[in-house]
Amino acid sequence: MHEVLHEQLMSMARHVRDPQNNAPPSGIEPRRLAVYRRLFFGNVESLLAGCFPVIRASLGPQRWQTLVETFFADYRCQTPLFTEISGEFVSFLEEGGADELELPAWLPELAHYEWVEAALLLSGSGEQDHDPAGNLLDGVPVLSNLAWPLAYQWPVSEISPNFMPQDIPGQPTLLLARRGVDKKVHFSRLAPLAHALLVSLQQRDCSGREHLQTLAEAIGVDSEAILPQGIALLENLRAQGVVPGTRI
């Protein structure tokens, strides 16, 4: 009995996800199955439309509908949480799940960019213990858990229905996404040095001086040459709450 019920439920789930390629389960009216289909798919489509408004507007109704239908039918989410479906949609695109649809090459990066806002808004991460008045040069600067340095090949912050690039620009788009004390997510452009410093803070636990020395070596200049600029940058990041202080 258990096996029969399980197969009936799986048959229904397969049909609701992809009615074109899966026969309906026996004993259920087509009208009822259509209601289930509209309910489940409609909820997912509505959530994704809210999280990815630029993608939806740029693709247009038909291509957007086809994209969401493909995700709904083919992708196996790794989380039962409804609030994390947008992250699963990003993974679906990054893993090539929509490649056969011949959509724009910038789509996975734009999806990640749009997802970041929702992810930061919903993040429950708190800040690690730190000294807000610590010496950022000799101490170990702490990067806020709510500040994410981002790098994209495509100009994701500019893409819209009126601007859909065909070629990758010569320079990457470097951004900082952070959730402020106003509980809103703010995006700002980053210069290459600022982005490199934030990524270094994200990846390594060492003094501010060591971070700057490593960056100086990477660009082939004497560390003393970028020290004043580096100190000023660290202090500016502290004032914004991006680097709240130094590790205790």
Does 76 share its domain with 141? no
Same-domain pairing of 96 and 135: no
CB 147 within 8 A of CB 178: yes
The average pLDDT across 171-181 equals 96
- Say whether pLDDT at 4 is over 70: no
Q: Is residue 112 part of a domain?
A: no
Q: What is the pLDDT averaged over residues 223-237?
A: 93
- Asked whether residue 111 is assigned to any structural domain, the reply reads no
The residue from 41, 68, 103 where one domain ends is: 103
Identify whether residues 185 and 246 lie together within a single domain: yes
| 138 and 245 co-located in one domain | yes
Residue of 155 and 42 predicted with greater confidence: 155
The answer to whether residue 197 sits within a structural domain is: yes
- Determine, yes or no, domain membership for 120: no
Total domains, the chain:
2
Residue 16 predicted with pLDDT over 80: no
| CATH code of residue 63 | 1.10.150
Residue 117's alpha-carbon distances to 84, 179, 218, in angstroms, are 13, 9, 31
Evaluate if residue 213 carries a pLDDT over 90.
Answer: yes
CB 135 within 8 A of CB 109: no
Check residue 81 and give its pLDDT.
Answer: 82
Note the pLDDT tens digit of each residue in 135-175: 999 999 999 999 999 999 999 999 999 999 999 999 999 99
DSSP string, 116-127: HHHHHHH--PPP
pLDDT at 2: 66
82 and 133 belong to one structural domain: no
Name the domain boundary from 67, 87, 103.
103
- What pLDDT sits at residue 9? 66
The predicted structure's pLDDT at residue 31: 74
What does DSSP assign to residue 163?
B
Q: For a pLDDT cut of 70, what percent of the chain falls above it?
A: 92
Q: Are residues 176 and 227 in the same domain?
A: yes
Average pLDDT, the chain: 90
**Collapsed DSSP state (helix, strand, coil) of residue 153:** coil
Give the range of the structural domain holding residue 142, as residue numbers without chain letter. 128-248
Residues contacting 72, CB < 8 A, separation 6+: 17, 18, 40, 41, 44, 45
- Give the CATH number, domain containing residue 245: 3.90.930.50
Residue 199, pLDDT above cutoff 90: yes
Q: Decide which of 103, 120, 148 is a domain's last residue.
A: 103
N- to C-terminal Cα distance for the chain? 60
Whether 121 is in a domain gets the answer no
- Asked if residue 208 and residue 135 are part of one domain, the reply reads yes
Would you say residue 127 has pLDDT above 90? no
% of the chain residues with pLDDT over 90? 72
Specify the pLDDT at position 12.
Answer: 64
What is the pTM (predicted TM-score) of this model? 0.87
Say how far apart CA 143 and CA 204 lie, in whole Å: 10
- 109-136 average pLDDT score: 94
Q: What pLDDT, on a 0 to 100 scale, did the predictor assign at position 23?
A: 67
89, part of any domain: yes
Whole-number pLDDT of residue 33: 72
- Assess whether 60 and 132 both reside in one domain: no
Q: Which of 1-10, 30-39, 146-155 has the highest mean pLDDT?
A: 146-155
